[in-house]
Amino acid sequence: MIDKLRKDSIILIAIGLGILVGAYFYPSPAVVGAGFGVLAPGVVRLARYYYYRTPAHLPEYEAQQRAFSINMKDERKVFLRARAGQIAYQILFLTLLLLGAVGSLFKVNPWFCLTFLLLALFAYLCGAIAFYFLSRKL
Amino acid sequence: MKNRLEEFRKQRGIRQEELAEILQVSRQTIGSLENGRYNPSILLAFKIARFFGTAIEDIFIYEEEESK
């Protein structure tokens, strides 16, 4: 279990360094930021690996992993996450519609209004397609 | 849904954390079940009943008025 932590950290560090090397050929703040954004968690994970592999700390890591595994599979928490996602989707959809409608009323740049309305349409279509495939599967 | 989960658990002399560990759920789920705030899935209800060596109906009390 703990070896996965080391493997993941090496992969993240390798990808982060690869992106930073790529930034040398394509200098851009976004690329450099992405490189460090991937490298930093890899370094943190590697530090965690060396901390938790000692016999004194290994039981603590295994307890954390057990708790994490239970929290991921626990049916009430799965239900709460799904319900939270549903609420977030509804809020996002209504907000985008309102922004598009209010923007057009106050004569905001039409491209902004169109973007908001297209995003709302996209969110709606994603939800409809997800519902379709889930209802066929279940 | 009303249930006698807390009663059965205390008869066995185990804490919520221990029951949660055995059933592979979180302690908060056991707490919510005992308070009646959350109804378990059929799978979890079976696991609970099997653990206590009893039928589901002995632990979880279904009342007709709840479905209205």
Q: CB of A107 within 8 Å of any CB in chain B?
A: no
DSSP element (H, E) containing A115: helix A110-137
Residue A54 Cα, gap to closest chain B Cα (Å): 25
Q: What is the pLDDT along chain A (138 residues), one digit of tens a residue?
A: 678 888 889 999 999 999 999 998 888 899 999 999 999 999 999 999 889 888 888 888 888 888 899 999 999 999 999 999 999 999 999 999 999 999 989 988 889 899 999 999 999 999 999 999 999 988
Tell if the CB–CB gap between A70 and B38 is shorter than 8 Å. Answer: no
Q: Which residues contact B18 (CB under 8 A, 6 or more apart)?
A: none
Within a 10 A sphere around the Cβ of B56, how many other Cβ atoms? 15
> Are B29 and A73 within 8 A, CB to CB?
no
pTM: 0.73
Token pair for A109: 């740049």
ipTM of the complex in this document? 0.81
